[in-house]
């Protein structure tokens, strides 16, 4: 292994952005779709943990990580449908339901996940984009998992789809004004049901990435709140899928800063470096907020903006 010294820091941030960001990407894209339809699903942390468990269990049983991802998506969609269904009743608070489902998802994942802590599951494949390099560190940093690429493509597709497709328009109209949607003959409840299910399926893919690739094992503490942070990222990204992708990369990279700085000898105050992603979020939130107007880009039907 060559000595790369201080180059290790930018490399670690790049590598970390790619490695750590994927769960954030999927959860925030899923939540962006759900919130664009006018509903908040705070339960995605539970969906993420359950998705991690389901993917790992199915991958262990079938020997195929892809069946694991599919199982996670199905489970995640199921959680989304439950959330959407409960919220379709009058005067149900979507935030409270989300918190209940978060605890339910985590509890259920612990319950079913017990026998899968010890076995090893086959990991998801990665593509070595750094194979041109002789430096092992670069090769390791650019070893990109296929789910990350899928997430990037999905961010683009959703961004384009919101603007240019009929489905995108339907979701946006339902999210901005339920009355207009009804006037157009759309059922906001049905649209939100499917948007929440879609969001749940994506969040569960994020969980599958955690358990099947990085860090690549199932245990009950696999997620350290990624699902919750990703929900916050959506607001940070102003409900824009490309913004979600960028925010997730930023978060991943900032998270890699602490260990990387310690490894090159910047060891004083590492607790502060670990807080970097949150400080960054706070600063950007403060810089872009204004007391005079509503959050730009916020769907009009969201319970937090109404």
Partner 1 sequence: MTDLTISRRSLLKTTAAGAALGLAGVPAFSTRARAAATTVGFIYVGPKDDFGYNQAHAEGAKALKAMEGIELVEEENVPETVDVQKTMESMINLDGASLLFPTSFGYYDPHVLAMAKKFPDAQFRHCGGLWDKSKHPMNAGSYFGYIAMGQYLNGVVAGHMSKSKKIGFVAAKPIPQVLNNVNAFLLGARAVDPTITCQVIFTGEWSLAVKEAEAVNALVDQGADVITCHVDGPKVVVQTAANRGAFVCGYHASQAPLAPEKYLTGAEWNWATVYSMYAKHALAGEPLPNFTRGGLSDGFVKMSPLGPAVTEPARKQFEATLAEIKKGGYAVIKGPLKDNKGKEIAGAGKAFPETAIELESTSFLVEGVLGSTS
**Interface residues toward partner 1, by CB under 8 A:** 1-4, 8, 11-12, 15-16, 19-20, 110-112, 114-115, 117-118, 120, 137, 140-141, 210, 214-217, 219-222, 224, 226, 255-256, 258-260, 262-265, 267-271, 274
Shortest spacing between CB 57 and partner 1, in angstroms: 10
**Is-contact 207 47, C-beta < 8 A?**
yes
Shortest spacing between CB 268 and partner 1, in angstroms: 6
**Of 34 and 217, CB closest to partner 1:** 217
**Of 117 and 157, CB closest to partner 1:** 117
Q: Rounded to the nearest 5°, which phi and psi values hold at 63?
A: 80, 5
The C-alpha atoms of residue 173 and residue 299 are separated, in whole angstroms, by 9
Shortest spacing between CB 112 and partner 1, in angstroms: 7
In sequence order, what DSSP letters do the residues of 47-107 get, joined into one string?
HHHHHHHHHHHHHHHHS-HHHHHHHHHHHHHHHHHHHHHHHTSTT--HHHHHHHHHHHHHH
The C-alpha atoms of residue 171 and residue 186 are separated, in whole angstroms, by 10
Shortest spacing between CB 136 and partner 1, in angstroms: 8
The C-alpha atoms of residue 55 and residue 291 are separated, in whole angstroms, by 44
**Is-contact 59 68, C-beta < 8 A?**
yes
Shortest spacing between CB 31 and partner 1, in angstroms: 19
**Of 128 and 259, CB closest to partner 1:** 259
Residue 120: how many other CB atoms lie within 10 Å: 12
**Of 178 and 260, CB closest to partner 1:** 260
**Of 244 and 260, CB closest to partner 1:** 260
What residues are paired with 126 via a beta bridge? 145
């Amino acid at each position: 292994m060559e000595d790369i010294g201080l180059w290790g820091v930018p490399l670690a941030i790049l590598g970390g952005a790619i490695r750590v960001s994927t769960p954030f990407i999927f959860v925030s894209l899923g939540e962006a779709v759900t919130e664009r339809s006018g509903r908040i699903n705070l339960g995605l942390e539970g969906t993420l943990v359950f998705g991690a468990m389901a993917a790992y269990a199915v991958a262990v049983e079938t020997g195929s990580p892809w069946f694991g991802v599919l199982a996670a998506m199905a489970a995640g969609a199921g959680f989304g449908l439950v959330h959407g269904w409960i919220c379709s009743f009058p005067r149900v608070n979507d935030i409270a339901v989300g918190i209940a489902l978060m605890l339910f998802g985590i509890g259920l994942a612990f319950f079913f996940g017990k026998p899968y802590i010890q076995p090893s599951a086959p990991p998801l494949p990665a593509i070595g984009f750094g194979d041109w390099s002789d430096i092992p560190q670069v090769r390791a940093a650019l070893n990109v998992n296929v789910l990350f690429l899928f997430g990037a493509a999905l961010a683009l597709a959703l961004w384009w789809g919101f603007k240019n497709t009929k489905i995108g328009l339907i979701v946006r109209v339902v999210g901005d004004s339920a009355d207009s949607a009804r006037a157009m003959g759309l059922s906001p409840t049905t649209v939100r049901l499917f948007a929440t299910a879609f969001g749940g399926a994506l969040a569960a893919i994020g969980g599958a990435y955690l358990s099947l690739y990085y860090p690549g094992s199932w245990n009950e503490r696999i997620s350290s709140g990624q699902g919750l942070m990703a929900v916050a990222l959506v607001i940070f990204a102003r409900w824009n899928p490309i913004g979600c992708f960028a925010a997730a990369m930023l978060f991943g990279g900032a998270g890699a800063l602490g260990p990387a700085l310690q490894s090159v000898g910047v060891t004083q105050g590492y607790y502060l470096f670990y807080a970097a992603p949150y400080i960054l979020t706070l600063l950007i939130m403060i810089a872009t907020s204004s007391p005079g107007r509503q959050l730009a880009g916020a769907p009009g039907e969201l319970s937090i903006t109404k």
